[in-house]
Amino acid sequence: MTPRRAVLGGLVAGAGTGVALLALLVLAVALAPVAPLPGSTAPSPTPASAAPGDGAGSGAGSPVTSAPPAAEGSSGAGGSGGPSPTPAPSPASPFAVGEPAPPLVVRQLGGGTIDLASLRGRPVWVTFMATWCPSCREELPRMALAAARHARDGLVVLAVDVGEEDGTVAAYFSELGVTLPVGLDPDGAAMERWRVLALPVHFWIDAEGIVRFGALGGVGPDVFGEGLATILPGSSPVP
């Protein structure tokens, strides 16, 4: 008789019928084979010949591989590893460089009309300004000197006053001692057509009527010289 059955016999002999039946039930459960849970599978033993990492026992039968190292220049997790994307092109120049100059037809101070189209074939420097502009007092005399110095080269320098009366503009240029063709833009229509957002502003236009350079005022003679050189190669520096 096995030890487990001997213990059961002792329990039956020394207890009542109810205790004996309980002991028989416990023994039956202990001796019954364990059934797997529904939907589960018993693990299959790994063959002794399988080497670690060769894919044996991996479930689907495909070998287990490590992820390839990230390519140099990749953006990390989720990165493509390819070359960096080409940056978006920069926005168009606020001075419309490389484009035909907008039409400019304004009344001239002292009488007559200034029409930019009539100056085709000559390099033109246009500035939009006002008498209240601090930097204009320094820039306009420089522009007048450049106009006189390059008159033989056909250079035309135009000043367009924005939003002021004839008398105010005339007194201002008389005070400065500057002689230039001055256009009047009392309602700001020409300024708006040229997309001018601040005063003063300068445009350099070549003999074909194309804007080649632009700059806000207050930049100094170096930038003026750079702009002039784009429409008049070999020009002397702006004083």
Give domain status of residue 2, yes or no: no
Beta bridge partners of 58: none
pLDDT tens, 93-138? Answer: 678 899 999 999 999 999 999 999 999 999 999 999 999 999 999 9
The answer to which of 61-70, 98-107, 110-119, 220-229 has the lowest mean pLDDT is: 61-70
Residue 231: exposure state from Cβ atoms within 10 A (0-12, 13-18, ≥19) = buried
Q: What is the pLDDT of residue 168?
A: 98
Task: Give the total number of structural domains in the chain.
Answer: 1
Cα–Cα distance measured from residue 119 to residue 183, given in angstroms and rounded to the nearest whole number: 14
Give domain status of residue 44, yes or no: no
Give domain status of residue 181, yes or no: yes
Q: What is the pLDDT of residue 134?
A: 94
What is the separation, in whole angstroms, between the first and last Cα of the chain? 125
Give domain status of residue 226, yes or no: yes
207 pLDDT tier (thresholds 50, 70, 90)? very high
Return the higher-pLDDT residue of 68 and 146: 146
Cα–Cα distance measured from residue 12 to residue 3, given in angstroms and rounded to the nearest whole number: 15
Cα–Cα distance measured from residue 146 to residue 223, given in angstroms and rounded to the nearest whole number: 13
Q: What is the pLDDT of residue 112?
A: 97
Return the higher-pLDDT residue of 73 and 122: 122
pLDDT tens, 18-56? Answer: 444 444 444 444 444 444 434 444 444 444 433 333 433
Residue 34 to residues 4, 24, 192: CA-CA distances in angstroms?
19, 18, 91
Q: What is the pLDDT of residue 83?
A: 43
Residue 213 to residues 77, 89, 95, 217, 229: CA-CA distances in angstroms?
45, 19, 7, 13, 9
Give domain status of residue 45, yes or no: no
- In the predicted model, what is the mean pLDDT of the chain? 74
What percent of the chain is predicted at pLDDT more than 70?
Answer: 61
- CA torsion sign, 146 to 191 to 167 to 137? negative
Q: Give the CATH number of the domain where residue 197 resides.
A: 3.40.30.10
Q: What is the pLDDT of residue 238?
A: 79
Give domain status of residue 171, yes or no: yes
Q: Per-residue pLDDT for 14 more than 50? A: no
Q: What is the pLDDT of residue 81?
A: 45
Q: What is the pLDDT of residue 93?
A: 61
The residue range of the domain holding 205 is 105-231
Give domain status of residue 74, yes or no: no
Give domain status of residue 77, yes or no: no
